[in-house]
C-alpha cells in the first residue's frame, strides 16, 4: 500500500521540478542555507561581546556554541524521519518559523540562561532545515543538473564561511550584538514565502519509532560529549563512550530489518552511500581540526598577527568556494572516486606542506599551502555529496540528506576532539601535532576513495 501511494507523488516530478518553479525552489533552498550557515558563523564573532554585556565568564559563554552544535547533531536523524511523515514543505516552513521566533527571543534576552534557551530553540529550527537540504536538492534538480545543484549549495556554504565572520564584525562595529539575530528575520520571511515552491518529497505513513529516537540521541550525544571530556575527565569520558557504544549497537540491531529506519541502515548497505559517508566523515574531521589548530599554529609558532591569520584562513575558504562549481561540473562527467581522491590528496598535501614549512618561510608559501588545502576540500565535497544523495532511492532522499548533514556535524565534532587530544599530549607542539592529525584524516578520506574506485560493485559513479 505504501509503494502504491508513493508512485503518484514521484511521478509528479520524476526528474526534478519544471521551470519556473525550479528557480523559485532553488532560491528558497539557498536562502535557507544562507541564514542557517550565517547563524553558525556570525554568532561566534560576538561571543566576547555577549560575555561582557551579560557579565558572565568567557568560558561559560562558549556553551552557546557547544549546546547549539550538540542539539543539531542529535536531532538531525529524528527530524528527517518526522519530515518523511509531515512533508518537506511543512517541515521547512516550521523550521523557518522556529528559527525566526527564536532569533527574536535571542535578541530580547537579558540573561545568559534566556539566551542559552533561545539558542537551543534556534538549533532545533536549524536542524529542521538542515535535515531537508539534501533531499530537496535531489527532488528539485533534474539528474543532468545534479552536480550543478550540489556545487551551488557548496558555493553558498563556502562563501558564507568567508563573509559570515566579516558581516558579524561589521554589525558589531556599528550596533549591539542583538542586531546579529535581528538580521536573520528578513531572510526567514523570504524563506517562509518560498516554502510553497519546494518539492514535497514522498511521505511515509508509519508510526514514529520513539525507542530508536531515544537511542539515537543518547548514542550521538554521549559520544560527542565523551570526546569533548576525554582530555579533562577521562574516566567519565570513557563511561560516556561505553554507554554511547551500547546504545549504538542496540540501535543498529533494532533498525536492521526495518524498511525505513530512523538511522538509515538501509542506505548504508548501498556501497556508494557507505563509501561517501566514510569519506565525508574523514574529510570534515580534517577540515575542522585544521581550522581549530591553524590559528594556534600561526599565532604561537609562526608568530603571525591576527590579520595574517584571517587572510590565511580566508585563502582556504576562497579555494573551497571557487572550486565548488568546477567539481560539480566534473562530477556529472567523471567517476566520483577519482575526483574525491584528487581532492583528498590535495588536502593532505596542503596540510602536510604547512607542517614541514620552516617557521621563517615566506608568507606566500603558507598562503599557497592553504590554497591547496582549500581547493582540495572544495574539489572533494560536491562529487562526494552527489554520490551520497543520489546513491539511494528517491523515496529515501530525505533520509539521505539527513545522513549527509549528520555525517558532516559528526566529522566536525570528531576533528575538534582530536585537536584537544593533541594539545593534551604536548603543550609545546600540540598545534603542529594537530595539523599532522588533520593531514592523516585527509589521507583517511583518500584511502576510502581508493577502495571505492576498486570496488567491484557497479554504482552511480560509473
Q: Is residue 1 part of a domain?
A: no
Query: Do 325 and 238 lie in a common domain?
Result: no
Q: What local confidence, expressed as pLDDT, does residue 1 receive?
A: 35
Q: What local confidence, expressed as pLDDT, does residue 158 receive?
A: 67
Whole-prediction pTM value? 0.75
Q: Read off the pLDDT of residues 180-216 as tens digits, 9 standing for 90 and up.
A: 899 899 999 999 999 889 887 666 677 777 888 888 8
Query: Do 238 and 280 lie in a common domain?
Result: no
Enclosing H/E stretch for 212: helix 210-229
Q: What gap in Å lies between CA 401 and CA 79, rounded to an integer?
A: 11
The 3-class SS string of 309-374 reads HHHHHHHHHHHHHHHHHHHHHHHCCCCHHHHHHHHHHHHHHHHHHHHHCCCCCCHHHHHHHHHHHH
Q: What local confidence, expressed as pLDDT, does residue 24 receive?
A: 92
Q: Name the 3-class secondary structure at 111.
A: coil
Print burial letters for 184-222: b (CB count within 10 Å at least 16), e (below 16). Answer: bbebbebbbebbebbbbbbbbeeeebeebbebbbbbbbb
Q: What backbone phi and psi angles, to 5 degrees, belong to 20?
A: -90, 0
Q: Name the 3-class secondary structure at 143.
A: helix
Print burial letters for 386-409: b (CB count within 10 Å at least 16), e (below 16). Answer: bbbbbbbebbbbbbbbbbbbbbbb
Pick from 163, 197, 231: which residue ends a domain? Answer: 197
* Nearest partner of 455 among 339, 347, 335, 280, judged by Cα: 335
Q: What local confidence, expressed as pLDDT, does residue 7 receive?
A: 36
Give me the residues paired with residue 11 across strands. none
Other Cβ atoms less than 10 A from the Cβ of 66: the count is 13
Q: What is the CATH number of the domain that holds 57?
A: 1.20.1250.20
Query: Do 364 and 345 lie in a common domain?
Result: yes
Q: What local confidence, expressed as pLDDT, does residue 372 receive?
A: 93
Q: Is residue 236 part of a domain?
A: yes
Are 435 and 286 in contact by the 8 Å Cβ rule? The answer is no
Q: Is residue 462 part of a domain?
A: no
Query: Do 178 and 274 lie in a common domain?
Result: no
Domain that holds residue 241: 210-257
Q: What local confidence, expressed as pLDDT, does residue 161 receive?
A: 67
Q: What gap in Å lies between CA 165 and CA 161, rounded to an integer?
A: 7
Query: Do 238 and 193 lie in a common domain?
Result: no
Q: What gap in Å lies between CA 331 and CA 379, rounded to an integer?
A: 10
Q: What local confidence, expressed as pLDDT, does residue 96 receive?
A: 93
Query: Do 362 and 448 lie in a common domain?
Result: yes
Q: What local confidence, expressed as pLDDT, does residue 459 receive?
A: 44
Q: What gap in Å lies between CA 458 and CA 270, rounded to an integer?
A: 11
* Nearest partner of 162 among 282, 318, 58, 389, judged by Cα: 318
Are 144 and 93 in contact by the 8 Å Cβ rule? The answer is no
Q: What gap in Å lies between CA 414 and CA 282, rounded to an integer?
A: 9
Q: What local confidence, expressed as pLDDT, does residue 251 receive?
A: 84
| C-alpha neighbours within 13 Å on the C-beta side of residue 258 | 19
Other Cβ atoms less than 10 A from the Cβ of 356: the count is 11
Query: Do 149 and 278 lie in a common domain?
Result: no
Query: Do 297 and 422 lie in a common domain?
Result: yes
Q: Is residue 21 part of a domain?
A: yes
Are 226 and 238 in contact by the 8 Å Cβ rule? The answer is yes
Q: What local confidence, expressed as pLDDT, does residue 365 receive?
A: 94
Query: Do 101 and 66 lie in a common domain?
Result: yes
CA–CA distances in Å: residue 455 to residues 449, 450, 452, 458, 460:
10, 9, 5, 8, 12
Query: Do 175 and 277 lie in a common domain?
Result: no
Instruction: Give the chain's end-to-end CA distance (angstroms, integer).
Output: 33
Low-confidence ranges of the chain (pLDDT < 50): 1-13, 459-462
- Quote the number of domains for the chain: 3
Query: Do 165 and 242 lie in a common domain?
Result: no
Are 85 and 208 in contact by the 8 Å Cβ rule? The answer is yes
Q: Is residue 125 part of a domain?
A: yes
Q: What local confidence, expressed as pLDDT, does residue 162 receive?
A: 64
Query: Do 217 and 307 lie in a common domain?
Result: no
Q: What gap in Å lies between CA 438 and CA 253, rounded to an integer?
A: 33
Q: What local confidence, expressed as pLDDT, does residue 390 receive?
A: 76
Pick from 175, 197, 219: which residue ends a domain? Answer: 197
Amino acid at each position: 500500500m505504501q509503494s502504491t501511494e508513493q508512485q503518484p507523488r514521484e511521478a509528479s516530478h520524476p526528474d526534478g521540478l519544471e521551470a519556473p518553479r525550479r528557480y523559485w525552489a532553488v532560491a528558497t533552498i539557498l536562502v535557507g542555507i544562507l541564514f542557517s550557515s550565517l547563524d553558525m558563523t556570525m554568532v561566534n564573532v560576538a561571543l566576547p561581546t555577549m560575555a561582557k554585556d551579560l557579565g558572565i565568564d568567557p568560558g561559560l559563554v562558549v556553551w552557546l556554541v557547544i549546546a547549539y552544535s550538540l542539539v543539531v547533531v542529535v536531532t538531525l536523524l529524528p527530524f528527517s524521519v518526522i519530515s518523511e511523515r509531515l512533508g518537506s514543505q511543512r517541515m521547512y516552513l516550521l523550521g523557518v518559523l522556529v528559527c525566526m521566533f527564536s532569533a527574536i527571543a535571542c535578541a530580547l534576552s537579558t540573561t545568559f540562561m534566556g539566551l542559552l534557551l533561545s539558542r537551543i530553540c534556534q538549533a532545533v529550527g536549524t536542524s529542521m532545515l538542515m535535515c531537508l537540504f539534501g533531499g530537496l536538492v535531489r527532488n528539485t534538480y533534474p539528474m543532468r543538473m545534479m552536480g550543478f545543484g550540489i556545487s551551488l549549495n557548496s558555493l553558498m556554504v563556502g562563501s558564507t564561511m568567508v563573509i559570515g565572520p566579516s558581516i558579524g564584525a561589521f554589525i558589531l562595529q556599528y550596533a549591539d550584538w542583538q542586531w546579529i539575530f535581528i538580521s536573520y528575520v528578513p531572510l526567514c520571511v523570504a524563506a517562509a514565502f518560498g516554502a510553497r515552491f519546494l518539492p514535497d518529497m514522498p511521505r511515509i505513513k508509519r508510526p514514529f519509532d520513539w525507542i530508536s529516537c531515544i537511542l539515537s540521541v543518547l548514542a550521538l550525544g554521549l559520544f560527542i560529549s565523551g570526546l569533548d571530556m576525554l582530555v579533562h575527565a577521562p574516566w567519565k569520558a570513557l563511561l560516556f563512550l561505553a554507554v554511547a557504544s551500547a546504545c549504538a549497537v542496540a540501535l543498529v540491531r533494532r533498525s536492521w530489518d526495518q524498511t525505513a529506519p530512523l538511522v538509515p541502515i538501509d542506505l548504508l548497505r548501498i556501497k556508494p552511500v557507505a563509501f561517501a559517508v566514510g569519506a565525508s566523515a574523514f574529510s570534515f574531521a580534517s577540515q575542522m581540526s585544521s581550522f581549530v589548530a591553524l590559528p594556534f599554529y600561526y599565532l604561537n609558532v609562526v608568530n603571525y598577527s591576527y590579520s595574517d591569520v584571517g587572510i590565511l584562513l580566508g585563502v582556504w575558504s576562497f579555494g573551497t568556494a571557487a572550486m565548488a562549481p568546477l567539481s560539480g561540473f566534473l562530477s556529472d562527467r567523471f567517476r566520483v572516486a577519482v575526483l574525491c581522491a584528487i581532492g583528498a590528496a590535495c588536502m593532505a598535501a596542503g596540510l602536510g606542506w604547512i607542517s614541514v614549512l620552516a617557521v621563517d618561510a615566506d608568507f606566500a608559501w603558507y598562503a599557497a599551502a592553504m590554497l591547496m588545502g582549500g581547493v582540495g576540500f572544495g574539489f572533494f565535497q560536491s562529487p562526494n555529496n552527489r554520490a551520497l544523495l543520489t546513491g539511494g532511492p528517491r523515496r529515501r532522499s530525505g533520509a539521505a540528506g539527513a545522513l549527509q548533514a549528520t555525517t558532516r556535524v559528526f566529522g566536525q565534532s570528531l576533528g575538534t576532539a582530536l585537536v584537544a587530544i593533541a594539545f593534551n599530549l604536548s603543550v609545546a607542539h600540540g598545534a603542529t601535532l594537530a595539523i599532522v592529525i588533520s593531514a592523516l584524516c585527509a589521507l583517511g578520506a583518500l584511502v576510502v576513495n581508493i577502495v571505492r574506485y576498486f570496488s567491484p560493485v557497479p554504482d552511480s559513479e560509473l
